[in-house]
Amino acid sequence: MIMKEDLFENQRKDMILGQGAILFAGLAKKIDKSLLSSVQEITQLAPFRHMKTSGGFDLSVAMTNCGLLGWVTDEAGYRYQSFDPLSGLVWPKIPPLFLELALEAAERAGYSSFVPSACLINRYVPGAKMSLHQDKDEDDLDSPIVSVSLGLPATFQFGGFNRTDPLQKLLLIHGDVVVWGGKLRLAYHGILPLKSGHHHLTGSTRINLTFRKVF
């Protein structure tokens, strides 16, 4: 039996968000179970945690990393570092399947030389959000951001170079991949509070993989 959700997903198309930015509808769905299995393996070595901002507030999104570098935040501020502050060990390697997906998406978007050095893994539960922000902690701002959505749907906000610029609001569903770079590399973006729901692979959560080249 074909479910309404499947019909909706099959009717969705790729969408250009601006110059150098594109949404690939369902690109990751064909390997979703393998991606989530790799997430589970990574989080056994580097568990999800709620990091603190420099102001001492806990992020509502639980995070971890894999790759040569990992993004962290604490009272000292935002930065990348080669080891997990919880264990003192280097971050787990980026799985080959992750790299293949990130490179495929980047190349489709016109960024053929992209090789990520960091993959942030975010876990959202109902009510968790990501406030509008720019990804600007990287030294390499010529390379794009590649973002993969798994699990529950979320509303993605994509704006301009000022926090008050008009926003596009896009529903990201399981398997969607968004790539942005070039002139829009420093566009403000965020995720509205996650709505309650159930996904057959992730339960009541959304998993986001964000690939970046730091240097």
Q: Is 163 annotated as a binding residue?
A: yes
Helices (H), 53-185: 96-108
Answer yes or no: is 155 a known binding residue.
no
On whether 137 is known to bind a ligand per the annotation, the reply is yes
Owner of token pair 């790729």: 14
**Pick from 93, 142, 148, 149: nearest CA to 118:** 93
Rounded to 5 degrees, what angle do the CA atoms 188, 135, 140 make? 130
Print the SS3 string covering 40-79: HHHHHHCCCECCECCCCCECCCEEEEEECCEEEEECCEEE
Residue 207, marked binder: yes
**Continuous segment of H or E residues that includes residue 211:** strand 206-212
**Residue 80 labeled ligand binder:** yes
> 12 among the known binding-site residues?
no
Q: Is 111 annotated as a binding residue?
A: no
Consult the annotation and say whether 71 binds a ligand.
yes
Say whether 49 counts as a known binding-site residue.
Answer: no
**Residue 202 assigned as binding residue:** no
The pair of three-digit structure tokens given for residue 119, joined into one six-digit string:
């993959």
Q: Is 162 one of the annotated binding-site residues?
A: no
79 is in an annotated binding site: yes
**Is 211 known as a binding-site position?**
yes
Flag whether 212 is marked binding: yes
Classified as helix, coil or strand, 203 is strand
To the question of whether residue 210 is assigned a binding role by annotation, the answer is: yes
Known binding positions for 2-oxoglutarate:
122-124, 206-212
Known binding positions for Fe cation:
133, 135, 189
Known binding positions:
71, 78-80, 122-124, 133, 135, 137, 163, 189, 206-212
Known binding positions for substrate:
71, 78-80, 137, 163
